[in-house]
Amino acid sequence: MLELMSRRRSIRKFKNERVSEEAIKSLVDAALLAPSGKNAKPCEFFVVQDKVKIEKLAACKDGPTEALKSAPLAIVVTANPEKSDVWAVDAAIAASHILLEAEALGLGCCWIQIMNRRSGQLMADSQVKKLLNISTSLSVLCVMAIGIADESKEPHAIDSLSRSNVHFL
């Protein structure tokens, strides 16, 4: 598992190839397997394969969204705050499962933060919900840009990790 984690890097350039339905199912299954506080399962996922919608998703927030501009697949990670007071943590765990499953499948993936990000004078969350007709009862944490990588990055070297933030008591 550590070797898989060391290989996982944020990929922002994708080939113009669709992600297989089998891979999409595995990514969704990974998200659904994520634990949640009190097993509340507050997360909902929106799988977007329409290129026009994905490009519009990229325009829903200020700042860097280049990964979405070439991604053939986006998964919007949301959760219902009324089901869990730690909805953002629950959604982050699910998003992390997606990141790791993408790496296991040989796909590239990049987390595009939406929560607490702006879109001009509006919040990015509201723009994403409006674009995809997502219920106002849900909050959007992030959009996962996914596809076949069109760039390569060296794995993280486990032996060079900074251990200064680790405290043994």
Task: Assign residue 113 the CATH number of its domain.
Answer: 3.40.109.10
Query: What is the structure's pLDDT at 47?
Result: 98
Residue 164 placed within a domain: no
Kindly give the parts of the chain with pLDDT less than 70.
Answer: none
Q: How far is CA 47 from CA 21, 143, 153, in A?
A: 11, 10, 26
Query: What is the structure's pLDDT at 19?
Result: 98
What does pTM read for this prediction? 0.97
Query: What is the structure's pLDDT at 91?
Result: 98
Burial tier of 61 (Cβ tally within 10 Å: 0-12, 13-18, 19+): buried
Residue 4 placed within a domain: no
Query: What is the structure's pLDDT at 161?
Result: 95
Q: Which of 131, 144, 125 is nearest to 73 (CA)?
A: 144
Domain that holds residue 86: 11-151
Query: What is the structure's pLDDT at 43?
Result: 98
Helix (H, G, I), strand (E, B) or coil at 112: strand
C-alpha–C-alpha distance, residues 124 and 115, integer Å = 7
Residue 159 placed within a domain: no
H helical segments located in 62-148: 66-70, 87-104, 124-132
Query: What is the structure's pLDDT at 31?
Result: 98
The b/e string for 116-139 (b: 16+ C-beta within 10 A; e otherwise) is ebebeeebbbebbbeebebeeebb
Query: What is the structure's pLDDT at 166?
Result: 96
Q: What is the total count of domains within the chain?
A: 1
